[in-house]
A and B are shown apart, each in its own frame.
Chain A
Amino acid sequence: MTDFLTLGFLQRAIAAAALTGGLCSAIGVFVVLRGLAFIGAGTAHAAFAGVALAYLIGAPPMPLAIVFGLGTAWVTGLLEEQGRMKLDVSIGIFYTATMALAILFIGLMKSYNAEVYGYLFGSILSVTSEELQLTGVLAVLVVGLLGFFSKEFFFLAFDQEMAEASGVPARRFFFLLLTLIALTIVVSLKIVGAILVFALLLIPPATAYQLTSSLHRMMLYAVTIGVLVSIAGVLLSFQFDLPAGPAIVLLATGVFFLAVALSPKRAPKPALP
Chain B
Amino acid sequence: MTRPHPTHTHTHPHHGDHQHGKPLIRFEHASFLYPHGPALEDITLEIADGEFLGVIGPNGSGKTTMLRAILGLMPPSQGSLRIFDCACQELRCHHRAMIGYVPQKRSVDPYFPITVHEAVMMGRAGAIGLWRRAGRRDREIARHALEDVGMADYDGHPLGALSGGQQQRVFIARALAQHPQILLLDEPTTGIDTTTQHTVLELIQRLHEDLHLTVVLVSHDINLIAPLAERLALLKTRLYAVGPAKDILRKDILSQVYGPQILTTDQGHVIVADHHHS
Contacts and interface: CB of A to CB of B under 8 A. Distances in A.
Given A167-B96, A169-B93, A213 B101 contact: no
Interface in B108-167: 111-115, 118-119, 121-128, 130, 133-134, 158-161
B269 interface: no
B95 interface: yes
A158 B114 contact: yes
Given A151-B128, A165-B101, A167-B127, A209 B122 contact: no
B99 interface: yes
A167 B113 contact: no
A236 to B, nearest CB: 30
A33 interface: yes
Interface in B201-257: none
A168 B118 contact: no
Contacts of A217: 113
Contacts of B95: 167
Give the most central of B94, B114, B124, B127: most A CB within 10 Å: B114
B200 to A, nearest CB: 19
Nearest to B101: A165
B122 A167 contact: no
Nearest to A212: B113
B118 A214 contact: yes
Given A165-B71, A168-B93, A154 B113 contact: no
Nearest to B68: A165
Interface residues of B, number: 35
B88 interface: no
Contacts of A165: 71, 73, 96, 99, 101, 103
Contact of B113 (A151, A162, A213): A213
Interface in B34-78: 71, 73
B83 interface: no
Interface in B3-24: none
Contacts of A218: 113
A169 B100 CA distance: 16
A238 interface: no
A151 to B, nearest CB: 5
A68 to B, nearest CB: 30
B130 A213 contact: no
Interface in A151-173: 151-152, 154-155, 158, 161-169
Contacts of A168: 93, 125-126
A209 B118 contact: no
A212 B158 CA distance: 9
A214 B112 CA distance: 9
A56 to B, nearest CB: 42
Contact of A166 (B114, B123, B130, B159): B123
Contacts of A209: 111, 113
Interface in A209-265: 209, 212-218, 265
A216 B122 CA distance: 13
A173 to B, nearest CB: 9
Given A166-B178, A167-B127, A168-B93, A215 B118 contact: yes
A4 interface: no
Contact of A167 (B119, B125, B160): B125
B114 A151 contact: no
A175 interface: no
B176 interface: no
B97 interface: yes
A87 B115 CA distance: 30
A218 B125 CA distance: 20
A144 to B, nearest CB: 14
Q: Which 5 A-B pairs have the closest CB atoms?
A: A167-B126, A167-B97, A213-B158, A167-B96, A166-B126
Interface of B: 71, 73, 93-101, 103, 111-115, 118-119, 121-128, 130, 133-134, 158-161, 178
Interface of A: 33, 149, 151-152, 154-155, 158, 161-169, 209, 212-218, 265
Given A165-B96, A167-B125, A169-B93, 15 more contacts: A151-B128, A151-B134, A154-B122, A155-B125, A161-B73, A163-B125, A164-B73, A165-B101, A166-B122, A166-B123, A167-B93, A167-B95, A167-B97, A215-B115, A265-B111
23 contacts: A33-B113, A151-B121, A151-B124, A151-B125, A151-B134, A158-B114, A162-B103, A165-B73, A165-B101, A166-B101, A166-B123, A166-B126, A167-B98, A168-B126, A209-B111, A213-B113, A213-B115, A213-B159, A213-B161, A215-B113, A215-B114, A215-B118, A218-B113
